[in-house]
Chains A and B, each alone.
Chain A
């Protein structure tokens, strides 16, 4: 079974600065999808960014970008120009491409605090 590990329970960043969240995963598969979800205090789960394992180019969505290192099984999230609204729990998630359906395996989460 696949596992996803987020080793940083909490990260703090100054407003307008950059923070990087770590995620590693364990899989024997070569084709899969990776995701970062944001969960603000409202409890809503919001998809931030996704990466297909077969794509070498790192995904980018506005101020959010990833560093996907397939050989190292690492998928970090960089938040640039941090804003107060970025304060939330962030979850890394994995989905196998060999299975039908949409089962995600989540990491334990990283809480991001943004200091004004």
Chain B
């Protein structure tokens, strides 16, 4: 199994450009999410989805859009990149946890994005 696959691994954008970070998982996980990692701040939740057709905002959603048309894919879109979006981005998935369940998050290997 591939697990959680993120593409690309690295990307450089100019301010104002748009792009989509791809995330795909082959574990039939209902739950998928995007985090950004910045030095000293750990990982912060951008958007998440509890199933196809359902998305919601996390802690730092501004400047990012998501959609979930299939169970497998959860792309993250930057419509107009800004230098503040320079970061490492992680996609993570798991089975849907009810409050009493605790299936672990599976992470992709990250995308390092630089906006100049």
Which residues in A have some Cβ–Cβ distance to B below 8 Å? 4, 6, 9, 31, 33, 42-45, 47, 50, 52, 91, 93, 95, 97-109
Q: Would you call A47 and B45 a contact (CB within 8 A)?
A: no
Is B96 in the interface zone, CB < 8 Å from A? yes
Check A102/B94 contact, CB under 8 A, given A4-B42, A44-B109.
yes
Q: How many B residues, CB 8 Å from partner?
A: 28
Once bound together, how far apart are the Cα atoms of A63 and B18, in whole Å? Answer: 45
Residues B84-111 near A (CB distance < 8 A) = 88, 90, 92, 94, 96-100, 102-105, 107, 109-110
Q: Number of contacts between A and B (CB, 8 Å)?
A: 66
Is B48 in the interface zone, CB < 8 Å from A? yes
> Which A residues are CB-close (under 8 A) to B48?
101, 103
Q: How far is the CB of B32 from chain A (nearest CB, A)?
A: 9
Once bound together, how far apart are the Cα atoms of A108 and B90, in whole Å? Answer: 15
Which secondary structure dominates chain A's binding surface?
loop
Which residues in B have some Cβ–Cβ distance to A below 8 Å? 31, 33, 35, 40-45, 48, 50, 58, 88, 90, 92, 94, 96-100, 102-105, 107, 109-110
Q: Would you call A97 and B99 a contact (CB within 8 A)?
A: yes
Check A43/B43 contact, CB under 8 A, given A52-B102, A102-B94.
no
Once bound together, how far apart are the Cα atoms of A62 and B115, in whole Å? Answer: 41
Q: Would you call A42 and B102 a contact (CB within 8 A)?
A: no
Q: How far is the CB of A3 from chain B (nearest CB, A)?
A: 11
Q: Would you call A102 and B110 a contact (CB within 8 A)?
A: no
Check A109/B42 contact, CB under 8 A, given A101-B31, A102-B94, A104-B105.
yes
Check A102/B42 contact, CB under 8 A, given A43-B88, A43-B110, A44-B107.
no
**Which partner residue on chain A sits nearest B40 by CB separation?**
A108
Q: Would you call B103 and A102 a contact (CB within 8 A)?
A: yes
Sample of 17 more A-B contacts, CB < 8 Å, known A43-B109, A102-B97? A6-B42, A9-B40, A43-B88, A45-B107, A99-B99, A100-B96, A101-B31, A102-B31, A103-B33, A104-B45, A105-B45, A106-B35, A106-B42, A106-B43, A107-B42, A108-B40, A108-B42
Once bound together, how far apart are the Cα atoms of A52 and B48, in whole Å? Answer: 23
Check A101/B50 contact, CB under 8 A, given A43-B88, A43-B109, A91-B43.
yes
